[in-house]
Amino acid sequence: MMLLPTEAIGSLPRSPELMQAQRQFDEGKIDSSAMEAFYEEAIEQTIRAFVATGSPV
Say if 43 falls within a structural domain.
Answer: yes
Say if 27 falls within a structural domain.
Answer: yes
Q: Which residue has the higher pLDDT, 57 or 47?
A: 47
The residue length of the chain stands at 57
Number of domains comprising the chain: 1
> b/e map of 42-51 (b: 16 or more CB within 10 Å)?
beeebeeeee
Say if 7 falls within a structural domain.
Answer: no
Say if 4 falls within a structural domain.
Answer: no
Per-residue pLDDT of 5-55, as tens digits, reads 666 667 788 999 999 999 999 999 999 999 999 999 999 998 898 899 888
* Domain range enclosing 24: 16-53
| Alpha carbon distances (Å) from 57 to 22, 38, 42 | 26, 21, 16
